[in-house]
Structure 1
């Protein structure tokens, strides 16, 4: 009888172990966001994060505005809303972090884009990335980047050893424009990094093509958020309540299945490896005969006057004219009459530009080029070579959402995602 009881206990213990292995471990995450900058979708994504924060071990919330005027205060304001709604959330689930615990891990990162070198000075945010990455843990630190890469690049520069302890999911695309220099620093110096570069798949989350009314991002607010707590009230302030949340796929990726396998089907997309990051160099004016790859790094190298200013000083501008209007990008002096500026086109279109400077003797340049819609495109000698753990949007034709590469890998799950979120909104009513 004792033997039977002993066998039964062993069997039960084995089943417990199996069950424990089947339960996903809370991932360690750190979010770098440009919240408070030019695009309020970060506020929307932050609300989504806070409502699901019981699913993560959150180690950092960093304000990293490569462009715009976002600060740590924008994070604190969102946490204040969460604090008001937390009692209702805790009635339905355990494990939500305390507001004070979240406030303690809010850090200020770099404000403004890095110079041509890609790195400058250590910030509170970049230092915190290093601190978190160096913690003893059997898990990696997942760095979810919702904006520019400036603080991540600085952290890697200051502490190259952390490359072995972090995994990155970056919402790229337009964000690559704002942090072209820090991106170049990372791919040139850390090609062995574990890195998901989501340049377009994330668009699938807010695409409205062929979606049923129940998950149409333009009416989701009225159906599920209106009257749902302080965060629901605040959500109306961003895009009138229309759901964009272009950064949320990075969170969704951590919530569904095994994040160590980018090729898997998941709420946050499915990705494939690629071994080269497109980089094109020009030392002349371009014309419409020049076609470049979407999301590639373009470098315009220019010979000009020899001047007595520090190397890597911003001293001229690339003025880009496209469908979005005109934007200006800083160019830098490398010394000995050499000037350079980087640019990353975010979509297929025809672009016109001028290059101007107030430096006496600097000749104004003008040109055009065509951007095609195939990422990463054919390999060139000037491309950055990548290691085996760099992943990006799938190029399968049947996974395009219109002209959005890989968009279907996220769009296909949106109903499931939004209906799951609707349950949490109901908790706040």
Structure 2
């Protein structure tokens, strides 16, 4: 029998998007298939915390007697509580890391365990605690394999992503920016199970976790982070280019990185999920400045989001931003410093990652993978989407058998 994969989950559960709660229920219902070594709360955005993980473990504990009738390998709830840790609340600063957290220290401790297997770090939210762990213990880079649900999470984690990609380009890293969307996206194929109908057909009335599932998206299956688990459940996880429930990926040799003069903007087409760094020259300030010297406001329809810029010293200012989707994105800069205030522009974001080459792109090693770029594998607008949508029925019907256990 094959060894169970060692996994550590970094999640922003309890933040703004309740799909992590759905994914945590899925994980706990398959907990006999993994050696779960850590459950880290890493909310780069929103108010997530470790207590939300513990709440889900409480539900699991109530359903455990029924689950154990089918497998003796389900972990004890108290063990799962013992490996649940609090990571960083909020974003990393411009340099990409800050101070060690309980979560980042647990990543280091878990990665350094003596084992013939790597530690799979499955990232459902931001990269802050992973970046912190790598900064504090660079020796772990060859002991971990990362599967990251990027996309919107990449937008919130621009600074920590930038730190990792520049300093650890030889990591074993699957950066999934779009493939995962196809697991829960609306699909007109009548042969594919509908996410909106699954709850009533397979979950309703089954167990404490089933009752709780209705609290998230009214029971509609989203589980945008579960492809990290699917990847290890079916297929050869050591070959990201092969067939897998969690998608199929291709090696990329560069991470797109575009430097923009904030006063001039750019008319260049930029691939979605590219790292963009706006730079300004301004007055020389005291090095001890801790407040935010300027903000960028992004405007999409009526939605306005604010992004904090940084003072780098010697009159240099900068802000890193990663657009999550193809669009025409309007932005403007706001500051009490006249040299930084009032500039605005539009970014033309295109729908193919990593897009055209730029002189400033960051070179990557031989073990960095991302969504397949073949146009035939797009699922609508989702790059690589068909490499996961083809498995949706298999995944959901397999899970349905486990819901039956909670009848």
Question: Which of the five TM-score ranges fits, normalised by the shorter chain?
Answer: over 0.9
Which among 239, 243, 247 is matched to residue 269 of structure 1? 247
1:321 aligns with 299
**Aligned partners of 2:401, 2:111: CA distance in 1, in Å?**
34
1:161 aligns with 139
**Aligned partners of 2:37, 2:190: CA distance in 1, in Å?**
37
SS for the counterpart of 1:67 is coil
Which among 105, 112, 131 is matched to residue 83 of structure 2? 105
Distance 1:261 1:419, change over 3 A: same
1:420 aligns with 398
Question: TM-score when scaled to structure 2?
Answer: 0.97
**Aligned partners of 2:293, 2:72: CA distance in 1, in Å?**
54
**Aligned partners of 1:301, 1:311: CA distance in 2, in Å?**
18
CA contact under 8 A between 2:281 and 2:339: conserved in structure 1? no
| Structure 1 position 383 matched with structure 2 position 352 | no
- 1:292: how far off? 1.0
CA contact under 8 A between 1:117 and 1:312: conserved in structure 2? no
- 1:311: how far off? 6.2
**Aligned partners of 1:277, 1:217: CA distance in 2, in Å?**
33
Aligned counterparts, 1:60-71, within 5 A: 60-71=38-49
CA contact under 8 A between 2:23 and 2:225: conserved in structure 1? yes
| Structure 1 position 282 matched with structure 2 position 245 | no
Distance 1:273 1:324, change over 3 A: farther
Distance 1:182 1:339, change over 3 A: same
- 1:383: how far off? 0.6
Structure 1 portions without partners, runs of 5+: 1-22
- 1:285: how far off? 4.0
Which among 25, 30, 38 is matched to residue 52 of structure 1? 30
| Structure 1 position 191 matched with structure 2 position 162 | no
Which among 55, 58, 74 is matched to residue 96 of structure 1? 74
Task: Name which of structure 1's ranges 181-190 and 307-316 shifts more when overlaid on structure 2.
Answer: 307-316
How many residues end up aligned between the 2 structures? 407
Task: Name which of structure 1's ranges 251-260 and 209-218 shifts more when overlaid on structure 2.
Answer: 209-218
CA contact under 8 A between 1:300 and 1:340: conserved in structure 2? yes
Q: Deviations over 1:12-52 (max 9, x none)?
A: xxxxxxxxxxx332000000000011100000000000000
1:401 aligns with 379
**Aligned partners of 1:58, 1:175: CA distance in 2, in Å?**
23
Q: Deviations over 1:135-164 (max 9, x none)?
A: 000000000000000000000000000001
Q: What RMSD in Å do the two structures reach over aligned CA positions? A: 1.4
1:330 aligns with 308
Distance 1:288 1:188, change over 3 A: closer
Which among 208, 219, 229 is matched to residue 197 of structure 2? 219
**Aligned partners of 1:374, 1:311: CA distance in 2, in Å?**
39
2:278 aligns with 300
1:12 aligns with none
2:211 aligns with 233
- 1:65: how far off? 0.3
**Aligned partners of 1:103, 1:248: CA distance in 2, in Å?**
20
SS for the counterpart of 1:215 is coil
Q: Highest CA radius of gyration, 1 or 2?
A: 1
- 1:211: how far off? 3.7
CA contact under 8 A between 2:294 and 2:340: conserved in structure 1? no
